[in-house]
Amino acid sequence: ALCQCTDSNDPITRPRVENVVLEMQDPKTGVKSQTQRLVITTIPHAITGEDIVAWIANRFKIDAAEARAMGTMMVAFGYIYPLQDHKRLILKPDTSLYRFQTPYFWPAQQWLVEDTDYAIYLAKRNIRKKGMLELYEQEQYNNLYKWMNHKWDFIVMQAKEQYRAGKERKKPDRVVFDCQERAYWVVHRPPPGTVSAMDYGHDRMVDPNMEEKKTPDYYRRIIMFTQQCIMRPRVKSSVSIGALIKYTTTYKEHDPFLHTCFPSSPWITDDVTYWTLNMPNVETPTKMRVERWTFSFGELLMDPRGRADFRLFLKKEFSGENLAFWEACEDLKWGAAETMKEKAQQIYKTFLARGAPRWINIDGKTMDITVKGLAHPHRYVLDAAQTHIYMLMKKDSYGRYLKSPVFKETQKKAVAPEPHRFTETQLEQNAKRRRPSLSPIILRQQEEEQKAKLAASGPVDITQVMSKLERKQKN
């Protein structure tokens, strides 16, 4: 039974492991699960080690020692994870608590264990723990920062976004997901001194338990990294303080906590007009909002309303594919992992392939880097091409947009709300009418609906329609 059910890297026997785990989760005939209290958090569907051993022994008609060995192998491969002792991937035949791993993290999914994903995970833990990582995690965090310094800003952004999304969950769900994710990385990036159960054979390039050999290539990378650090520009403190003062002076009037906001501060008067006027896709923006678009190209793209205005300008110049490609790359970065490969291929067919319906103009070197990366797509596979298009729009299109009739018309129509002058009675009435604000999830859904409406109202690409019809006919 042990040989038949634990070789999770053999494609022939792997389904048997999943079948056993699914059978163990059956509500009627599986392992008994119940809600358990862990410190101050309630964990649903927790199981004990002794129940797992008893179920395996009864199911396969084997003794307790062999059942325990089989359960330990399931824990080592990541199908079951401990809730209390995360580092020790063994099954204790007592009242120790365990949970079944979500199928998304099963070894059968054959996800490539990317250093980028591990860096995002460590960055997120670093944010949550406020820098108090375990010693081996801190070492790996520093090493990843050293080798992936060129994309560390994106890693931190992704980690912050995942951290914010996690805080929107209920506390038990958040704790369960944190345990699932931690168990996955303990299996695939085990602590020093722990032998990994995952044997990748020729596919594995780096053994996380082995120290890197001091080869000439190793020292070459150290020298290159040191040279980059030496060549990194330094500025005097007076210059950096001057830049900070300039930034504060520029943005001070646009901060509702540092400056009076019009028509009134919703935190003081309980009037939501300020938020209504500054909705993401409002039809007529305020003058302050339009003024902010002139600060930098990044400010324009971060504002959904500003981006819509810029899209209209590019459409009139017949170069709307540049912004569409940039937005598609952003969607690839922040989208769901299961659709990542499909999105990357769709972006290539739409914008980069020969004869693409919305072909973009990038240099040959960037194209070569992008095409090679698409052989094994990941979230940042299009970074080089996206940066090229971003700089092209920033240096060329952005300046012409600020001088264009489109921007001047928006600037002309922008509203400057008059300040509210509430009496004490009106303030009391506003407080009584106070309602909870919309959930960020609902706001995100509304934004997606707006995007879908814009896409539906846009011009139809006949080549895409014909290709879809051809695929349906073939199927």
Residue 291 pLDDT > 90: yes
Q: Minimum mean pLDDT among 17-31, 133-147, 201-215: which range?
A: 201-215
> Which pLDDT score is estimated for 325?
93
**Highest averaged pLDDT of the listed ranges 131-135, 179-183, 448-452, 454-458:** 179-183
- The larger pLDDT score, comparing residue 305 to residue 280, is at 305
Tell whether 96 and 24 lie within a shared domain: yes
**Region 310-323: what's the mean pLDDT?**
91
Tell whether 330 and 359 lie within a shared domain: yes
Residue 367 belongs to some domain of the structure: yes
Centre a 10 Å sphere on the Cβ of residue 270 and count the other Cβ atoms it contains.
Answer: 19
Q: Minimum mean pLDDT among 9-13, 54-58, 315-319, 443-447: which range?
A: 9-13
Residue 461 pLDDT > 80: no
Number of structural domains in the chain = 3
Under 8 Å CB-to-CB from 171, ≥6 apart: which residues? 41
Centre a 10 Å sphere on the Cβ of residue 388 and count the other Cβ atoms it contains.
Answer: 21
Place 206 in a pLDDT band, splitting at 50, 70 and 90: very low
Residue with tokens 């089989």: 70
CATH number where 20 lies: 1.10.10.10
User: What distances in angstroms separate CA 447 from CA 66, 304, 441, one per listed residue?
Assistant: 54, 9, 10
Can you tell me whether residue 84 is helix, strand or coil? coil
Of all residues in the chain, the percent with pLDDT exceeding 70 is 85
Under 8 Å CB-to-CB from 5, ≥6 apart: which residues? 13, 16, 17, 20, 70
Residue after which a domain boundary falls, among 105, 137, 158: 105
Q: 37 - beta bridge partners? A: 42
Q: At 63, which amino acid appears?
A: D
**pTM score, whole prediction:** 0.46
**Region 254-282: what's the mean pLDDT?**
85
Q: Can you tell me the distance from the alpha carbon of 174 to that of 163, in angstroms, rounded to the nearest whole number? A: 10
Kindly state the DSSP code that residue 47 receives in the 8-state scheme.
E
Taking alpha carbons only, the member of 121, 153, 165, 166 closest to residue 444 is 165
Backbone angles phi, psi at 346, to 5 degrees: -65, -40
Tell whether 59 and 127 lie within a shared domain: no
**Highest averaged pLDDT of the listed ranges 1-10, 11-20, 181-190, 246-255:** 246-255
> Which pLDDT score is estimated for 162?
85
Residue 381 belongs to some domain of the structure: yes
Tell whether 99 and 150 lie within a shared domain: no
Residue 50 belongs to some domain of the structure: yes
- The larger pLDDT score, comparing residue 325 to residue 88, is at 325
CATH number where 364 lies: 1.10.167.10
**Region 111-132: what's the mean pLDDT?**
83
> Which pLDDT score is estimated for 404?
93
Residue 455 pLDDT > 50: yes
Residue 68 belongs to some domain of the structure: yes
Tell whether 293 and 404 lie within a shared domain: yes
Tell whether 76 and 149 lie within a shared domain: no
Residue with tokens 């020292």: 219
> Which pLDDT score is estimated for 1?
45
Question: CB-based burial of residue 213 (10 Å sphere; 0-12 exposed, 13-18 middle, 19+ buried)?
Answer: exposed
Can you tell me whether residue 366 is helix, strand or coil? helix
* Sign, CA torsion 431/435/439/445: negative
Centre a 10 Å sphere on the Cβ of residue 24 and count the other Cβ atoms it contains.
Answer: 22
**443: Cα separation from own chain's centroid:** 18
Residue 199 belongs to some domain of the structure: no
Cis bond before residue 263 (omega within 30° of 0) = yes
Taking alpha carbons only, the member of 196, 197, 163, 176 closest to residue 43 is 176
Residue 204 belongs to some domain of the structure: no
Tell whether 56 and 74 lie within a shared domain: yes
Place 208 in a pLDDT band, splitting at 50, 70 and 90: very low
Residue after which a domain boundary falls, among 105, 136, 153: 105
Tell whether 304 and 388 lie within a shared domain: yes
The first and second tokens of residue 219, run together, are: 């020292």
Residue after which a domain boundary falls, among 75, 105, 135: 105
> Which pLDDT score is estimated for 268?
80
Q: Can you tell me the distance from the alpha carbon of 191 to that of 185, in angstroms, rounded to the nearest whole number? A: 10
Report yes or no: 291 and 299 within 8 Å, Cβ to Cβ. Answer: no
Residue 97 pLDDT > 80: yes
Tell whether 82 and 138 lie within a shared domain: no
Tell whether 402 and 302 lie within a shared domain: yes
Residue 135 belongs to some domain of the structure: yes
Residue 224 belongs to some domain of the structure: no
The first and second tokens of residue 438, run together, are: 């919309």
Residue 475 pLDDT > 60: no
Range of the domain at 44: 13-105
Mean pLDDT score of the chain: 81
Q: pLDDT per residue over 331-354, tens digit each?
A: 998 888 888 888 999 999 999 888
CATH number where 172 lies: 1.10.1240.60
Place 210 in a pLDDT band, splitting at 50, 70 and 90: low
Place 289 in a pLDDT band, splitting at 50, 70 and 90: very high
**Region 52-60: what's the mean pLDDT?**
91
User: What distances in angstroms separate CA 338 from CA 14, 217, 378, 448, one per listed residue?
Assistant: 21, 35, 11, 18
Residue 203 pLDDT > 50: no
Tell whether 152 and 91 lie within a shared domain: no
* Sign, CA torsion 298/151/226/144: positive
Tell whether 119 and 182 lie within a shared domain: yes
